[in-house]
Amino acid sequence: SLFLPSLESVAEALKDGLSETFETVEVSVVDCPDLTQKPFSLASQGLGGSPTILEVGGVPFLMPLVDRSKVYDFKDMNKVTGVNPAFIIGAGAGPFTYAGVNCELVANLVVKDGEVRQLSQIAKL
């Protein structure tokens, strides 16, 4: 099993590391605020307590040429991870099928029982 440090020791490590770069540093452990509110504006109130890292796609489908046959549906991600609801946040390649061109994605959505609460953003040139 992986080592699980206490929140206090994580806060102390963050404070020590940040103090090497910044003149004034304050780090504390607090209850998670409602992340749906500003300034966060995320699709879920909290992180859910079941963090899972999931890589969807990847470089092998981009190099040496883009493989446009690889299309993924976020509705399937809670089935893949076994987490329901699944709060999905992060950066990645955007939906070229929607945008019509390559684009970037800032994922911000919740998948619960096959229903999607979508607050993601895409950027394209």
Mean pLDDT of the 26-48 span = 93
Question: Using a CB cutoff of 8 Å and minimum separation of 24, what contacts does 64-73 make?
Answer: 66/102, 68/96, 71/97
CA–CA gap between residue 108 and residue 89 (Å, rounded): 5
Higher model confidence: residue 15 or residue 73? Answer: 15
Given a contact cutoff of 8 angstroms between Cβ atoms, the answer to whether 122 and 46 are in contact is no
The reported pTM is: 0.75
Q: Residue 4 in 3-state DSSP?
A: coil
Does the pLDDT at position 105 exceed 90?
A: yes
Mean pLDDT of the 98-105 span = 89
**Can you give the pLDDT at residue 118?**
95
Q: How many CB atoms lie within 10 A of CB 73?
A: 10
Higher model confidence: residue 118 or residue 56? Answer: 118
Return mean pLDDT, the chain.
90
**Can you give the pLDDT at residue 47?**
84
Q: Which two tokens stand for residue 41?
A: 């504006």
CA-wise closest residue to 124 among 100, 88, 89? 100
Mean pLDDT of the 116-123 span = 95
Given a contact cutoff of 8 angstroms between Cβ atoms, the answer to whether 110 and 87 are in contact is yes
CA-wise closest residue to 91 among 79, 106, 101? 106
Q: Residue 120 in 3-state DSSP?
A: coil
